[in-house]
């Protein structure tokens, strides 16, 4: 039962919150490519730190945890995409639970500001971290369906914030008529993302480590945990395409936007070794943050309602990501 997709009105004024980040930057690029000519991009980071920036877009630096800044951001906007959050990879999430939860202020204040000015449609970037941890304690995990978020026991801190914010979007839709759309992203990766500094996720971190090993000749790699933990990883192009199909659909429930190609961390290192043309000695850090034991996306619902599934194999996406990160290392 495919949901009917609306034809986007490219003259509509759009806000992208978190536009200086990884997914936000690629979303702005995609909207521009489709002909959207009235895009406002907002992020907390200085403009010089935005991953992608475009001269034909209204670019503003503002802390969207503050209601007044949210009011300024949504003025004159018809559509809002909220991808703003204080987050990172597993190391950051486990060490900064309170900071991750403070992102609830961004979504709450953006929704309230959107209600005040009559925003028509609101997108929220949620996460697979909302899923019940009891369903993710083995490596050969059963793929997670959207209904598996309840009974609630999400990732502490970050996952609770995302799950609560999903409910906010739902109830602002029900009570105030702001049409809500919610994507549960599964480990989105690709070029123009965080690749060092402590906030990077596994694909970028491992690509950096492999590239450095090749550059330096030190053919060792540190892996968090025993490397047998499993995940699925979604290439950025697929994530953006799925996001846009969801936004313009008539489907109002949370949807997985993720790959169902599950691999272990060890196998991801195998793929990167093949790409780099080297073999590495693996050193396992068993006391490092490693998250749930296994996680994979069940894409049955999203394929049914949107006709969407990822097109990029992990090996292809990692090759593109590895090449980009390698280039950053030699700049």
Domain containing 88 — which CATH number? 3.40.50.720
Instruction: Indicate whether 266 belongs to any domain.
Output: no
Q: Rounded CA gap, 313 and 305, in Å?
A: 22
Residue 330's pLDDT band (boundaries 50, 70, 90)?
A: confident
pLDDT tens readout for residues 73-105: 999 999 999 999 988 877 888 889 999 999 999
CA 156 from centroid of its chain's CA atoms:
17
Instruction: Indicate whether 205 belongs to any domain.
Output: no
What pLDDT, on a 0 to 100 scale, did the predictor assign at position 161?
A: 97
pLDDT tens readout for residues 247-286: 999 999 999 999 999 999 999 999 999 999 999 999 999 9
Residue 8 pLDDT > 90, yes or no? no
Instruction: Indicate whether 274 belongs to any domain.
Output: no
pLDDT tens readout for residues 211-260: 999 999 999 999 999 999 999 999 999 999 999 999 999 999 999 999 99
What pLDDT, on a 0 to 100 scale, did the predictor assign at position 92?
A: 86
Mean pLDDT, the chain, integer: 95
What pLDDT, on a 0 to 100 scale, did the predictor assign at position 94?
A: 87
What pLDDT, on a 0 to 100 scale, did the predictor assign at position 284?
A: 97
Whether 126 and 184 have beta carbons less than 8 Å apart is answered as: yes
Q: Rounded CA gap, 230 and 140, in Å?
A: 8
Instruction: Report the share of the chain in percent with pLDDT over 90.
Output: 91
Residue 1's pLDDT band (boundaries 50, 70, 90)?
A: low
Is the pLDDT higher at 87 or at 314? 314
Instruction: Indicate whether 272 belongs to any domain.
Output: no
What pLDDT, on a 0 to 100 scale, did the predictor assign at position 214?
A: 96
Residue 4 pLDDT > 80, yes or no? no
Instruction: Indicate whether 123 belongs to any domain.
Output: yes
Residue 3's pLDDT band (boundaries 50, 70, 90)?
A: low
Coil, strand or helix: which one is 125? strand
For tokens 């941890």, the residue is: 133
What pLDDT, on a 0 to 100 scale, did the predictor assign at position 21?
A: 96
For β-strands 281-285 and 234-235, DSSP reports them as: unpaired
Is the pLDDT higher at 107 or at 3? 107
HSE, CB side, 13 Å, CA atoms: give it for residue 58.
Answer: 18
How is 1-35 classified by DSSP, letter by letter? -PPPPPPP-TTS-EEEETTTSHHHHHHHHHHHHTT
What pLDDT, on a 0 to 100 scale, did the predictor assign at position 87?
A: 84
Instruction: Indicate whether 85 belongs to any domain.
Output: yes
pLDDT tens readout for residues 316-325: 999 999 999 9
Region 41-47: mean pLDDT is 97
Instruction: Indicate whether 208 belongs to any domain.
Output: no
User: Which residue among the candidates 158, 185, 189, 322 is catalytic per the annotation?
Assistant: 158
What pLDDT, on a 0 to 100 scale, did the predictor assign at position 90?
A: 79
Instruction: Report the share of the chain in percent with pLDDT over 70.
Output: 98
Residue 331 pLDDT > 60, yes or no? no
Instruction: Indicate whether 24 belongs to any domain.
Output: yes
Question: Is 322 considered catalytic here?
Answer: no
Count of domains observed in the chain: 1
Domain that holds residue 123: 14-189+234-260+298-310
């Amino acid at each position: 039962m495919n949901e009917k997709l609306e034809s986007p009105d490219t003259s509509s004024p759009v806000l992208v919150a978190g536009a200086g980040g990884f997914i936000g930057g690629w979303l702005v690029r995609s909207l521009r490519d489709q002909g959207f000519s009235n895009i406002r991009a907002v992020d907390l980071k200085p403009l010089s730190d935005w991953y992608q920036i475009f001269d034909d877009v209204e670019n503003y630096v503002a802390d969207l945890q503050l209601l007044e800044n949210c009011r300024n951001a949504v003025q004159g906007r018809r559509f809002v995409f909220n991808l703003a959050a204080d987050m990172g990879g597993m190391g950051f999430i486990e060490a900064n639970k309170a900071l991750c939860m403070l992102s609830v202020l961004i979504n709450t204040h953006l929704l309230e500001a959107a209600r005040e000015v009559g925003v028509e449609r609101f997108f929220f970037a949620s996460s697979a971290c909302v899923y019940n941890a009891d369903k993710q304690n083995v490596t050969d995990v059963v793929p997670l369906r959207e209904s598996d978020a309840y009974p609630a026991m999400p990732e502490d801190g970050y996952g609770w914030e995302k799950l609560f914010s999903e409910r906010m979007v739902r109830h602002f839709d029900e009570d105030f008529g702001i049409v809500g759309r919610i994507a549960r992203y599964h480990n989105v990766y690709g070029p123009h993302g965080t690749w060092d500094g402590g906030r990077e996720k596994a694909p970028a971190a491992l690509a950096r480590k492999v590239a450095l090993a090749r550059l330096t000749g030190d053919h060792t790699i540190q892996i968090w945990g025993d490397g047998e933990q499993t995940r699925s990883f979604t290439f950025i192009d697929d994530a953006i395409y799925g996001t846009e199909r969801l936004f313009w659909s008539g489907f109002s429930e949370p949807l997985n936007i993720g790959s169902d190609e599950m691999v272990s961390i060890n196998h991801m290192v195998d793929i990167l070794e093949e790409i780099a043309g080297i073999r590495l000695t693996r050193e396992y850090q068993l006391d490092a943050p490693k998250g749930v034991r296994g996680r994979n996306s069940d894409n049955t619902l999203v394929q049914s309602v949107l006709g969407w599934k990822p097109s990029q194999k992990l090996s292809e996406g990692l090759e593109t990501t590895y090449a980009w990160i390698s280039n950053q290392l030699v700049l």
